[in-house]
């Protein structure tokens, strides 16, 4: 196990922010994780996965643990499904590609989401009508306090919209080391009801789509809206889509007849934050090195040498503006480290 000093985290966060870790270690096995916690019980620690859902606004004191556990294996199978296990440090999209190559279905709608497998359950990643929880079987995690491992069932993870127990009461207490998924191996359930997927499939003249076709459609849609973090630093959706009470929504509808919404239940509707931000005039706005993406207003971007605090201040300005115009509180989806 090599502990490096004063390492730039620029290549370890998809915003591409150049902050430094006082010390940095890559963890490549569960044994190394136990060993590390025994050797460094007192030092402050910062757990880093794929770095795709964090805004780093300052240098990180103590030791950054880069979770770099690799490996994918099939645990069991029956006539229609498989249980497949991926270690936490596998790149999410490479895992999706592995499943598509083996014709395992269920995560094709989650193609091209940045980040790693091990951090996907923390915020229950979701896109195009599918959430991680739909295919999640269980995960294994290291208990930082007792230095032992335990398994979490789906029920124990308490998944919600971009939410899980790991972001709530167990925040900072566990490190996920592997995740098991239940995927279909035949009779795949194709989910194309999310409007743009059907459009993309129709454009490609596909009437009876395979899971691979759905994945290609999702990739086409994502590439048309979301910036590639390798080219323009970003962390996907910066905010969650807010839930508003139905009577407030009815009032908004009289002032903004075109306001889009998704029904949630009898009392609440979900409003796309991207629409609110666009309507407030921020879409495509550039403030030097940082700004709001021109094709999807929900995404804040680093064009080059922005600082995390610049992006944080922009996020606060957007939140204040949305509050003033719509009386809606926008909540960050990204983890802000300040
Ligand atoms: N819209 C605008 N202007 C914009 C962006 C969106 O008016 O600049 C409105 C449009 O009415 C559009 C609607 O918002 O029809 C929905 O937009 P989109 O389909 O792009 O989805 P979203 O609700 O903005 C959510 C997820 C994305 C996920 C997509 C597709 C959240 C916070 N975001 O975005 O997730 O890819 O749906 O399912 O729920 C992520 O979490 O990082 C992420 C990218």
Q: For the chain of 338 residues, list the mean pLDDT of each consecutive stretch of 10.
A: 95 98 98 96 95 97 98 97 98 98 98 97 96 98 97 98 96 97 97 91 95 97 96 97 96 96 94 98 97 98 96 98 98 96
CA-closest residue to ligand 1 atom 5: 274
Q: CB of 115 within 8 A of CB of 86?
A: no
Contact 149, 30 (CB under 8 A): yes
Looking at residue 281, what is its pLDDT?
98
- Ligand 1 near 278 CB (within 6 A): yes
258 to 254, 276, 280: CA distances (angstroms): 9, 11, 14
- C-alpha 156/C-alpha 254 separation (Å) is 42
Ligand 1 centroid–CA 219 distance in Å is: 14
Q: How far apart are the CA of 314 and the centre of ligand 1, in A?
A: 19
pLDDT confidence of residue 100? 98
Q: Which CATH architecture has domain 72-225?
A: 2-Layer Sandwich (3.30)
CA 137 to ligand 1 center in whole angstroms: 27
Structure tokens at 311: 């992006």
For ligand 1, mutation pick of 15, 52, 93, 127 (most atoms within 8 Å of CB): 127
Nearest CA to ligand 1 atom 9: 275
Calpha distance 14→192 (Å, rounded):
28
State both tokens at 298. Answer: 């929900």
CB of 127 sitting under 6 A from ligand 1: yes
Domains 4-67 and 72-225 share a fold: no
At 251 the pLDDT is 96
Give CA 215 to chain center in angstroms. Answer: 17
Question: Closest ligand 1 atom, CA of 161?
Answer: 39
What atom in ligand 1 is closest to the CA of residue 283? 8
Predicted pLDDT at 194? 86
Atom 36 of ligand 1: nearest residue by CA position: 127
Q: Quote the pTM value.
A: 0.96
Atom of ligand 1 nearest to the CA of 196: 19
Q: What is the pLDDT of residue 197?
A: 95
Residue from 220, 237, 331 whose mutation best tests the ligand 1 pocket (most atoms within 8 A of CB): 237
Which residue has tokens 């900072």?
172
In this structure, which residue's CA is closest to atom 21 in ligand 1? 272
Which CATH number does 233-337 carry? 3.90.78.10
Q: Which of 63, 65, 122, 67 is nearest to 91 (CA)?
A: 67
CATH number, domain 4-67, options 3.40.1710.10, 3.40.50.1820, 3.30.43.10, 3.40.47.10:
3.30.43.10
- Which token pair is 217? 């459609």
Contact 286 CB / ligand 1 (< 6 Å): no
Give catalytic residue positions. 162, 237, 333
Binding site membership of 296 for ligand 1 (Cβ less than 6 Å): yes
Q: What is the rounded CA–CA span in Å between residue 119 and residue 140?
A: 12
DSSP bridge pairs for 233:
302
> Does ligand 1 lie within 6 Å of residue 115's CB atom?
no
Instruction: Name the residue of 298, 318, 332 to mutate for ligand 1: max ligand atoms within 8 A of Cβ.
Output: 298
Can you say whether the dihedral through the CA atoms of 180, 186, 187, 193 is positive or negative? positive
Q: Which atom number of ligand 1 is nearest to the Cα of residue 260?
A: 11
Q: Which atom of ligand 1 is nearest to the CA of 235?
A: 42
Specify the 3-state DSSP secondary structure of 93.
helix
pLDDT at 1: 82
What string of DSSP letters covers 133-195? Answer: GGTEEEEEEEETTTTEEEEEEHHHHT-BTTB-TTTTTTTTTEEEEEEEEEEESSS------SH
- Residue-range domain boundaries for the chain: 4-67, 72-225, 233-337
Q: Which of 245, 252, 242 is CA-nearest to residue 266?
A: 245
């Amino acid at each position: 196990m090599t502990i490096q000093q004063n390492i730039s985290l620029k290549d370890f966060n998809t915003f591409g922010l150049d902050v430094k870790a006082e010390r940095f270690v890559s963890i490549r096995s569960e044994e190394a994780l136990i060993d590390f916690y025994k050797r460094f019980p007192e030092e402050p620690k910062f757990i880093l996965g794929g770095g795709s859902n964090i805004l780093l606004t300052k240098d990180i004191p103590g030791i950054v643990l880069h979770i770099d556990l690799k490996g994918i294996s099939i645990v069991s199978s029956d006539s229609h499904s498989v249980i497949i296990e991926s270690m936490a440090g596998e790149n999410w999209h490479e895992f999706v590609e592995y499943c598509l190559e083996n014709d395992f279905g269920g995560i094709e709608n989650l193609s091209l989401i940045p980040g790693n497998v091990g951090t996907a359950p923390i915020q229950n990643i979701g896109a195009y009508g599918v959430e991680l929880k739909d295919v999640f079987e269980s995960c294994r995690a290291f208990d930082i306090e007792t230095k032992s491992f335990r398994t979490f069932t789906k029920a124990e993870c308490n998944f919600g919209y971009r939410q899980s127990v790991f972001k709530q009461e167990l925040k900072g207490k566990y490190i996920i080391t592997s995740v098991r998924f239940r995927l279909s191996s035949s009779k795949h359930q194709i989910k194309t009801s999310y409007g743009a997927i059907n459009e993309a499939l129709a454009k490609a003249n596909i009437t009876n789509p395979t899971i691979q076709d759905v994945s290609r459609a999702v990739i086409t849609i994502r590439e048309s809206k979301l910036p590639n973090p390798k080219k323009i630093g970003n962390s996907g959706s910066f905010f969650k889509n807010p839930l508003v009470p139905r009577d407030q929504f009815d009032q908004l509808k009289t002032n903004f007849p075109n306001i889009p919404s998704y029904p949630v239940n009898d009392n609440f509707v979900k409003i796309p934050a991207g629409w609110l931000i666009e309507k407030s005039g921020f879409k495509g706005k550039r403030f030097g090195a940082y700004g709001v993406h021109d094709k999807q207003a929900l995404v804040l971007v680093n064009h080059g040498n922005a600082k995390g605090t610049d992006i944080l201040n922009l996020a606060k300005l957007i939140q204040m503006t949305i509050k003033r115009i719509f009386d809606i509180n926008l909540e960050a989806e990204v983890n802000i480290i300040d």
